[in-house]
Every structure is written in structure tokens, then in C-alpha cells.
Structure 1
Amino acid sequence: MFHGKTNKRTSEPKMRDFSLSDVRLFTKAAQLGGLTPAADALSVPKASASRQLQRLEAMVGHQLLHRGSTRFALTEEGREFLVAAGQVLSILDDVMLSLSSGAGTLAGRLRVAAPHYYGRELLGVHLPDFMSAYPQLEVVVETGNDRADLFRDEADVAIRRGREGCDEMVARHLKNEPMVLCATADYLAPRQAIESVSDLAPHAFLVSEIEGRKKEISLSITGKTHRLNVESVFQSDDLELILKLTLAAKGIGLVPLSLARSHLDSGALSSVLPALKLTPQEINLVYLPSRRHSPKIKTFVDYVLNIFKQS
């Protein structure tokens, strides 16, 4: 009987070596919606593209793409693999660009997702200087998409309102944005005076929270959330649209103080229940932990943090 030591490695799963060209072809096919356009984009012979995909699927042990004459879509396993593949390729591309471009030079593409207001008012003002400093870096900003799924490679970094969805990512706090309830005199004049939170019930509200019921709003006051049944609620993720409708006397708007300040100063808008201490909205810059060492992301994050620090 053999009494030697058991080789524990025999119970460990065998690691598989993937071809990066196969992985890149798969991600490009998922991006462009077909093997043929992916092969053209990567200068891969069309005859070998199908074989590369089959080889990758054999390595993964699952079919990654549904493909046919009229149908081309990711399988469930393909969607899962695409997330990891996209992250790995992004990291490798960052490193290769950094090494080939030389120290202090950024190149490639940086994709930023931000809410309408912050994308235009903040990045629109300061991005030209950033782009001048790094002319080889292509910056793409998608406003109105602060909920972009970074795990599915929809953006490299995102500016987000609130903490929702930040737990699995690196979240750098930018600022706490004071909020204000406001309305025009034309809207308020024909209605009963508002002296307490309970007086808000018969009013129309314009808010940016895309959740809840049509006739219910949530007001965060001094750390506590008050749910109110109101006359009606208009919801949009576009804060500037909310402000325009508020100025058009369509209801009471809940908007950032910085967005409404000039209209409050001019008298076009009046603060509703100004003594209320509304909880500020937290603004964060988020990115994936696996991308924390990406030179382009690190440089952009430091740049944005510096902007908010000075504001």
C-alpha cells in the first residue's frame, strides 16, 4: 500500500490558456453585432474568424454567441464572459499604451458617463484644458447616463448622484450638493400658503428620482425620509428639464441649489419652506477596482477631484 503524500494539485481545476486574439475577436463581434464586421475591423480573414470563435467557446466550455442567418446575440454565458474579457483587454490596452507612448503621455480612449447637469456645467467648462494637456487621449462623454453599467464596459468612469450602486466600485466623494424646493409666484399665488410639510400634499412636484409611485414623493429632511402623497409627480433624470418646467409654473421643483441659484436671486423662483434642512445629494466619481491603476483613469480622477476641491 502506498503511504506517500497525496498530490493536492490533482484536485485543483486546470487553468486554461486563452488566445488574446480570440478574446478580442469575440468582444469586437459583440460590440459590432457580427463576426464579419469584427473580422473586418481587426483585419482577420473571415474564414478564420469562425474557427477562432469556436476555439474560444471550446476553451470556455460554453457557447458564447447565438448565430444564424438572421440572429446574432450573446448567450447568458457570453454576457458573463464579455464583462470579464472587456475588463482584461482594457487593462492590457492601458498598459501597452502607457509603455509605448512613454512616461507622462496618455493615449487611447476614455469614456465618461455623467448626469446632464454635471456633464454640461462641470465637464463642459473644464474638459478643454484636460484635453489640451493630453492631446493623444480621446475623451468621450455621454451625458444623461450616470447609471452606466461599468461592469458591462459601458464606461470607464462615471459621475453619480447618491450612493446607489457604488458599493462594488471605487467611489471618490466629490461634493454634497445642497437641494432646494422652489416654485414661481404664478404657481404659488393662487394656492394656499405652504407653512409646513403637510401643506405640500395638494401640490404638483417635479423631481429627478425615477422610482416610486406617480403620486408619492420622498423628501429627505435632516437625515430622515418623509414620504408624502401629493397631487401629482413629474419625474425625469434631466435636472435642467425639471428647472425649465418649474420656471414654467408647472409645479414645485426639487433641484440642486447651484442650478436654481440665479433664478432665486432674480426673483423668478421662490424657495418653498426655506427653513427645511433638506439632506444634500451626494455626488461621487466611480470606477471599477480592477481599473484603479489605469493611467488614464487615475489622471482623470485626480483632475476631477481637484476641480471639486477648488469649487
Structure 2
Amino acid sequence: MVSNSTTRGHVELTDLRLLAKAAELGSLAKSARALGIEKAAATRRLQRLESALGCKLIHRQGGRFALTEEGRALLPHAQRGISALDDGFASIMAPDAPLTGTLRVAAPHTYGRRTISPLLLAFAAKNPDLVVELKLGSERVDILADEADLAIRIGEIGSESLVARKLAVERFLLCASPAYISSAPPLLTPDDLINHRIVDLRVGVARTHIELIGKKGPRQVRVKPSFRCNDPEMVISAACAGLGVAVAPYSIGVEEFSDGSLVRLLPEWEVPSRDVSAVYAPKRGQSRALRAFLDHLVEAMRQGPLPGVIGLHQSTFSIPTGSDT
């Protein structure tokens, strides 16, 4: 429990904040400066916390700093508790009070770096009292296991227990380089794809079919991938290098389509688009920081999403002239 008492078994919130800050900065002295207290006061707070818990939390030797096994076990719980309390405090503050605490955002590597990170940087600049973390990667984080507060998902949301807010629509195009097209077998109908090398945006289980949508509805077409990768930029590069036909996200390859490095194929057939969504656990929806960032994302996407991404106020967008065959 959190208390003002210093008797054994009672813990001060300020002491937990010190531990979390020291772990974040890797230094007790730096954490003292960040919290605006003297180093001696920080040392006393740490000793008070260790006394209350009956164990050592930090190894200190020759200027080195490291959490003990007990410290490592306590840290994530302390961080979550501090964040929850900060959210509770914030919920009763004035709406225009500065955002504080920590906001953890996860996103696919390429999309996150190209689209989400500029928006997150702008949000962080407007909220200097808020600690912002961005985790980029191809593996999905487990929101329900508290690995992040909010995640950007393209396509499937995941667990039905998550709350999802649609931000935009990502469009995909069937494409290849002019050099590949000039030397490859004719590609006049979807059935011709079986005779072509395929650059696949996935790894692991081999794809055997892709879905295309024509005037008469969707259709599954057999394919044989010869190059697979889970990074869309690498898929674009592979297609430009003539490795085969790719299903590529237009927002990532917009420059290549514009300058003719990639050519759209079978333009009368559409590749299914995918929703871009922000997802979070229901309990996290109470966070002022999360709600503020979500509103920031929605407004930014409404004002002008990345080329190739259809904002929610749009019904479609144009592909640069000369990209169709």
C-alpha cells in the first residue's frame, strides 16, 4: 500500500517514482536531478524503500548501477502502478492540465517509421511533461499483457477484447518493374500469375493464392512465391530489382510508382485494401494521454494522410499517371 508512514511494510509513492526513474536513467544521481532533489535525499528515499520492503533493490559499486533480482521483479509493477495513479490523478484535473506519465506506442516497423513516428514526434513536442515510447517491429505486441498502451495495426485487429479505432485505409497494388515485365511471360489475366515469380510480403508459411477483386467479385488466384520478406520496403526493392510480381502497399512505393520504377499490373483487378487501426485495451481508454494521442492521430489522418493511404474523409485517391499498363 502507499502511505506517508515510514514503518516497515509501508511504501511511499515518491520512493517508487525514484526507483522507476533511476532504472530508466541508469543512475541514482541522474534520477535525483530529474526529480529535482539532492542526491543525498535520493539515497535516503531508496534506503527507506528497501527498509519498507525488507530487501535490496539496487546494486551500487564503484559508480555502477544495477537492479537486484528483487528490484527487477518490482520495477514493472511499480511502473504500472505509477502510470495508473497518474492516470487517476489526471482524470480529475482540468482538461487543459499538462499530460504526464508515460505513453507506450507500438507500430509495424516501416509504417511506424514513415507514417506514425512524425505524428508521434509532433505530439511529444506539444507535451514535454509526457514520457513517450515508440516500439517498432514486425512482431505484434500483446496489448492485453500490457506490453504497450496503444498499437497500430494494418489488417486484422487481433483479440476481440481490444478496442479499435479506424484511422485510414491502406491500398495495395499488383506491380512489377518494367525490366521484369519485358522479359517475363505475358500477364493478361489473373490466371497468368501462376507462370510468374512472386515477391511475397510474408515469411514462414508459403502463400499459394492471392485474392483479386474484379467486376464480378473476388477471386482466388494461384501463385508460386520465389522471394518472401516481412518488410514492405524490401518487397518494393525486390520488385524494382526485377525479382518478380509483388503485391505492394502503395503508400510505401508511391515514389517508385511515380518515377516508373514500378508499373501497376492488371489495373482492372483490385487487391483488397486493409484498414489502419489504433487498438488498445478497454482499461487504457481512461488514460488522458492515450485519448489525446488518439485524437491527434485521427485529426492528422483527416487533414492529410500519407500518399497511398485513404483518409476516412476520402473515398479513393489517384495513382500517378503512367503507372497503369
Query: Do the aligned partners of residues 220 and 199 (structure 1) sit closer, same or farther apart at CA in structure 2, a change above 3 Å counting?
Result: closer
Q: Is the 8 Å Cα contact of residues 184 and 249 (structure 1) preserved in structure 2?
A: yes
For the residues of structure 2 that align with 1:168 and 1:24, how far apart are their CA atoms?
31
1:1-311 equivalences in 2 (<5 Å): 18-33=11-26, 37-38=30-31, 41-42=34-35, 43=37, 45=40, 47-55=43-51, 57-58=53-54, 67=59, 72=66, 75=69, 81-96=74-89, 102-108=94-100, 110-115=103-108, 116-117=110-111, 119-121=113-115, 124=118, 134=126, 140=132, 142=134, 144-145=136-137, 147=140, 156-163=149-156, 165-194=158-187, 195-196=189-190, 199-200=193-194, 203-207=197-201, 209=202, 211-212=203-204, 216-217=206-207, 221=211, 229-236=224-231, 239-260=232-253, 263-264=256-257, 267-274=260-267, 277-306=270-299, 307=302, 308-311=311-314
Deviations 1:35-57 (A, max 9, x none): 56545544363543553443464
TM-score between the two structures when normalised by the length of structure 1: 0.66
Measured after TM superposition, the shift of residue 67 of structure 1 is: 4.4
Decide whether aligned partners of structure 1 residues 292 and 184 sit closer, same or farther in structure 2, where only a CA change above 3 A counts: same
What's the offset of the Cα at 1:251? 3.5
Whether the 8 Å CA contact 1:83–1:151 is kept in 2: the answer is no
The structure-2 alpha-carbon separation of the partners of 1:156 and 1:98, relative to structure 1 and needing over 3 Å to count, comes to same
Give SS of 1:158's match: strand
The code of the aligned residue for 1:205 comes to: V
- TM superposition shift of 1:88: 2.8
CA contact (8 A) 2:191 2:222 kept: no
Give 1:186 shift: 0.5
**What is the letter of the counterpart of residue 230 of structure 1?**
P
Which shifted more, 187-196 or 112-121? Answer: 112-121
Give the conservation status (yes or no) of the 8 Å contact 1:201–1:231: no
Q: Count how many residue pairs are aligned between Structure 1 and Structure 2.
A: 282
Identity of aligned residues (%): 27
Distance 2:75 2:155 in 1: 28
The SS at the match of 1:175 is: strand
CA distance in structure 2 between the partners assigned to 1:224 and 1:125 by the alignment:
37
Separation (CA, whole Å) in 1 of partners of 2:223 and 2:97 = 53
Displacement of 1:184 after TM fit? 0.9
Give 3-state SS (helix, strand or coil) of 2:84's partner: helix
Distance 1:139 1:26, change over 3 A: closer
Instruction: Report the Cα distance in structure 2 between the residues aligned to 1:225 and 1:164, rounded to whole angstroms.
Output: 23
**Partner amino acid for 1:107?**
L
Q: Structure 1: 5+ residue runs without aligned partners?
A: 1-15
Q: What is the DSSP-based 3-state SS (H/G/I as helix, E as strand, rest coil) of the residue aligned with 1:292?
A: helix
Task: Answer whether contact 1:87 1:290 (CA < 8 A) is retained.
Answer: no
SS at match of 1:107: coil
Higher mean C-alpha displacement, 179-188 vs 164-173: 164-173
**Is the Cα–Cα contact under 8 Å of residues 204 and 231 in structure 1 kept in the other structure?**
yes
> Normalized against structure 2, the TM-score is what?
0.64
Point out the more displaced range, 160-169 or 299-308. 160-169
